[in-house]
């Protein structure tokens, strides 16, 4: 018990460190640029504190209850060498991790409200989760066969761009954001461990070129399926039914507001239990029916699952109190200043600061450094990725300010990515795409989403649904670009140095 308390305090401090760069950036702008404190400062600070508690509980619960079992199952399946079981496990892990992803829950809730009920939050989450499940199974299959990842990625993004050309403006930003938020607290550790573990256990596979890439595929495919969903709902949706759905949403919100706080809290925790139930069922199914082994340290595992549920609840409550108001308030205040210089600077600073503190990125950077055997420096990779995120969010903010079509920006950016993929050294491709997928953290996503929605709300002539989403997509694209350009430059320098050496 004492050790668990120490672990919780360590994770709480770690969550605070992840929030600190955001707090420093916001404090700088509030004190030196705006010269005023936010109206709801106490509520925001309390919300940030609750987010820290929620993230700490959630991560500790993962370490106690979910990760040990998932790792044990992966090792058992790899030893058995049963292709069907590996594919089924890959699908199940991908689906169950994403359906419970807190950042996706936050984006889906915003999308349902802003689209006036036309986009259903649970349907959106289900589509994204099914997409990730299928693509993780495909990625496992690729790793087993040893296919080059760049053919999957180039082909996939050609499909993404084709679908984007036909998709309605209202869904494009949301679709790309949905792809960006699938790889987060739950998904990245599970999926990355599965890919690297498989590559390490199969003879002839390289953990760097074959182990990475599952995260990249998990980002890409939801972009396709959500856009197809958008084409369907905006082409065949019934306007009258949408209005009825919106009325139902409004009535439900009013009823929730009138509910006793204690009952509402129990109801919300029950919904969180529903969200993590898929992971629990997947683990129990494979553990008892397939592997046929009892779960070791069952009490610790149960406690871990309870902490995951309570942590998720605290996380969502903290988002509503703290991070959403910060993003919205900062957008409104900075728009009020003369010119847009400070707004661009805020976007760049928030992008860089939050990414440098992103725990999933730190973990992947360390894994890449180990897998590359000295070819890559984890700290420098993180700086490249943070720079890419900062550039991406700044460009995304510029698009909202100008009101340009997101189609053009996204399509040009991914055409550049496809070209760079063809030119880059093969060892960097899977890693670069994975790094693009881990840049959007549990803290960054709600803040950046709120910033985009706040800008679209307060700039005249902008649509919240069309212009408010998309910043997360830009934050995911440009790290891929910066990492690949760096790898191409290093490769060219190496070739030039070899030519200069006299034979």
Count of CB atoms within 10 A of residue 398's CB? 16
Task: List the one residue out of 64, 23, 21, 104 whose CA is nearest residue 310.
Answer: 64
Summarize the confidence of residues 439-445 as an average pLDDT: 65
Asked whether residue 287 is assigned to any structural domain, the reply reads yes
Residues 6+ apart with CB under 8 A from 112: 119, 120, 121, 124, 249
pLDDT of amino acid 143 = 80
User: At 501, phi and psi to the nearest 5?
Assistant: -70, 120
Give CA separation, 12 vs 53, 54, 56, 183, 494, in Å. 6, 9, 5, 22, 44
Q: Is the pLDDT of residue 395 over 60?
A: yes
User: At 186, phi and psi to the nearest 5?
Assistant: -85, -45
Task: List the one residue out of 386, 18, 441 whose CA is nearest residue 378.
Answer: 386
pLDDT level of residue 371 (50, 70, 90 thresholds): low
Summarize the confidence of residues 105-113 as an average pLDDT: 75
Q: Which residue has the higher pLDDT, 431 or 397?
A: 397
Q: Is the pLDDT of residue 394 over 90?
A: yes
The domain of 427 spans: 65-306+324-500
Distance (Å, whole) CA 64 – CA 112:
34
Asked whether residue 45 is assigned to any structural domain, the reply reads no
Task: List the one residue out of 188, 191, 199 whose CA is nearest residue 146.
Answer: 199
DSSP secondary structure letter of residue 295: P
Asked whether residue 369 is assigned to any structural domain, the reply reads yes
- Would the pTM of this model clear 0.75, i.e. be above it? no
Percent of the chain scoring above 70 in pLDDT: 81
Distance (Å, whole) CA 376 – CA 364:
12
pLDDT level of residue 260 (50, 70, 90 thresholds): low
Q: Which two tokens stand for residue 300?
A: 């610790």
Summarize the confidence of residues 395-421 as an average pLDDT: 88
Q: Is the pLDDT of residue 433 over 60?
A: yes
Q: Which two tokens stand for residue 30?
A: 């509030």
Q: Is the pLDDT of residue 296 over 50?
A: yes
Q: Which residue has the higher pLDDT, 291 or 492?
A: 492
Distance (Å, whole) CA 351 – CA 22:
9
Percent of the chain scoring above 90 in pLDDT: 7
Summarize the confidence of residues 290-317 as an average pLDDT: 80
pLDDT of amino acid 420 = 92
Q: Is the pLDDT of residue 246 over 50?
A: no
pLDDT of amino acid 345 = 93
Q: Is the pLDDT of residue 496 over 90?
A: no
pLDDT of amino acid 253 = 46
Q: Is the dihedral of CA 84, 86, 92, 95 positive or negative?
A: negative
Task: List the one residue out of 132, 111, 69, 40 whose CA is nearest residue 291.
Answer: 69
Domain count along the chain: 1
Residues 6+ apart with CB under 8 A from 123: 229
Asked whether residue 213 is assigned to any structural domain, the reply reads yes
Predicted confidence (pLDDT) per residue in 114-141, tens digit: 677 788 888 888 898 898 889 888 888 8
The residue assigned the tokens 């209202």 is: 170
With left for phi above 0 and alpha for psi between -120 and 50, is residue 403 left, alpha or beta?
left
Q: Which residue has the higher pLDDT, 42 or 391?
A: 391
pLDDT level of residue 391 (50, 70, 90 thresholds): very high
Summarize the confidence of residues 425-452 as an average pLDDT: 76
Asked whether residue 24 is assigned to any structural domain, the reply reads no
Predicted confidence (pLDDT) per residue in 314-328, tens digit: 877 887 787 677 777
pLDDT of amino acid 249 = 44
pLDDT of amino acid 455 = 87
Q: Which two tokens stand for residue 435?
A: 């790094």
Q: Is the pLDDT of residue 92 over 70?
A: yes
pLDDT of amino acid 247 = 53
C-beta separation of 74 from 288 below 8 A: no
Highest mean pLDDT among 56-65, 123-132, 456-465: 123-132
DSSP secondary structure letter of residue 237: -
Asked whether residue 362 is assigned to any structural domain, the reply reads yes
pLDDT of amino acid 207 = 66
Predicted confidence (pLDDT) per residue in 147-162, tens digit: 887 788 888 888 888 8
Give the CA-trace dihedral at 111, 169, 175, 352, to 10 degrees. -90
Half-sphere exposure of 335 (CA within 13 A, CB side): 21
Predicted confidence (pLDDT) per residue in 271-284, tens digit: 667 666 777 788 78
pLDDT of amino acid 388 = 94
* Least confident stretch, 279-283, 299-303, 306-310: 279-283
Asked whether residue 54 is assigned to any structural domain, the reply reads no
3-state secondary structure 485-496: HHHHHHHHHHHH
Asked whether residue 43 is assigned to any structural domain, the reply reads no
């Amino acid at each position: 018990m004492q050790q668990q308390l120490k672990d919780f305090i360590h994770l709480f401090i770690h969550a605070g460190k992840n929030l600190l760069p955001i707090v420093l950036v916001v404090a700088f702008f509030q004190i030196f640029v705006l010269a005023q404190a936010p109206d709801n400062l106490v509520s925001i600070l309390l919300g940030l504190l609750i987010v820290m508690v929620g993230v700490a509980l959630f991560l500790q619960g993962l370490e106690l209850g979910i990760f040990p079992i998932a790792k044990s199952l992966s090792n058992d399946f790899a030893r058995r060498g049963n292709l069907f079981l590996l594919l089924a496990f890959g699908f199940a892990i991908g689906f169950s991790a994403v359906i419970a992803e807190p950042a996706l829950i936050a984006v889906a809730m915003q999308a349902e409200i802003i689209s006036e009920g036309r986009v259903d939050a649970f349907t959106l989450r289900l589509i994204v989760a099914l997409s990730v499940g299928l693509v993780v199974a495909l990625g496992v299959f690729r790793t087993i066969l040893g296919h080059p990842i760049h053919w999957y990625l180039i082909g996939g993004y050609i499909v993404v761009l084709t679908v984007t050309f036909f998709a309605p403006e209202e869904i494009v930003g949301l679709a790309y954001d949905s792809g960006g938020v699938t790889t987060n607290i739950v998904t990245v550790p599970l999926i990355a461990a599965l890919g690297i573990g498989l590559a390490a256990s199969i003879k002839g596979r390289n953990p760097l070129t074959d182990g990475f890439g599952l995260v990249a595929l998990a980002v890409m495919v939801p972009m396709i399926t959500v856009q197809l969903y958008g084409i369907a709902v905006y082409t065949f949706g019934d306007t009258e039914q949408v209005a009825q759905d919106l009325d139902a949403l409004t009535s439900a919100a009013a009823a929730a507001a009138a509910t006793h706080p204690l009952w509402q809290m129990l109801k919300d925790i029950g919904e969180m239990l529903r969200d993590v139930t898929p992971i629990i069922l997947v683990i129990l199914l494979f553990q008892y029916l397939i592997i046929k082994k009892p779960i070791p340290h069952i009490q610790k595992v149960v406690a871990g699952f309870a902490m995951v549920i309570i942590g998720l609840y605290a996380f969502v409550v903290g988002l509503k109190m703290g991070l959403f108001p910060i993003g919205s308030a900062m957008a409104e205040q900075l728009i009020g200043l003369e010119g847009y210089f400070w707004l661009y600077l805020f976007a760049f600073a928030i992008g860089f600061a939050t990414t440098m503190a992103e725990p999933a990125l730190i973990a992947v950077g360390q894994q890449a450094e180990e897998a590359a055997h000295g070819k890559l420096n984890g700290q420098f990779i993180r700086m490249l990725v943070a720079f890419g995120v900062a550039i991406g969010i700044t460009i995304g903010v510029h698009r909202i300010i100008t009101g340009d079509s997101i189609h053009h920006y996204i399509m040009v950016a991914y055409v550049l990515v496809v070209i760079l993929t063809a030119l880059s050294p093969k060892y960097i491709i899977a890693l670069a795409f994975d790094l693009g997928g881990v840049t959007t953290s549990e803290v960054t996503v709600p803040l950046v989403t709120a910033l985009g929605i706040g800008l679209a709300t307060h700039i005249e002539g902008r649509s919240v649904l069309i212009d408010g989403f998309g910043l997360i997509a830009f934050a995911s694209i440009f790290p891929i670009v910066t990492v690949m350009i760096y790898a191409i430059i290093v490769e060219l320098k190496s070739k030039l140095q070899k030519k200069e050496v006299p034979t």
